[in-house]
Structure 1
């Protein structure tokens, strides 16, 4: 019969005396799964009980060796969200919440080279069909959908057919 581990067993199995090498190994394991912003990675490492000054030191080293890059993170997030049909307003807000600076968000959105008007039209078409809405109630419903997706007012009006 297997013994049950307590809920905090994962935290208990982590070393109490963190070394830079152990912190770096933990950070690299997280980065191996997916890209993380520096703020997000720091938050996850500090949640494990690692001293903040050690986290900052290790993250600086990872960034210097380009193992962690906010630029790469922003680019991957923008591409992922564009493929899901999300607009620039929502992408910008979500990246900002992850601690990315505005200039990196702007650069990632610019580098994506997306025609946001066409993406809004495509998102509307996929959800509601090719025919433009005729009555006001349906137009409002589709506009709310596109607004939730993160498109601007101009992009929404162009997608609905104003």
Structure 2
């Protein structure tokens, strides 16, 4: 392997191999403890693990995810990836465990300001705007996502969220 990169991590997660990729990331972190992106990738793996865990494990993993993102931002405060992942985390975390839609929006907008590119950013912004009940802004983000990649599968999912309001 020529190093861990975002596409590789996402492909492994889509194949359900979060345990394997988490182990690879942790091994790579021992070799490159200053690589902020590795902490972001670890946080994404932890998010996947949280989805499959019971409530107590979710709380512990949520703290571990917070630590990974904190370390990523400590190593590189200008990491658009870390801001992007943290923005999603704040939206997806239940409010009683520290989730916050305004913070989600703030981190996603910061990722945008730092140059994060691709169709996923406007889609994640749209999801956050939907949670904030700012439907016009959500529509604008969906339209922008469609400009970037008109056939992206998640566009329909986010449009459905917009129609249902959640």
| TM above 0.5 | no
TM-score (ref. length: structure 1): 0.31
TM-score by length of 2: 0.30
The structure that is helix-richer by fraction is: 2
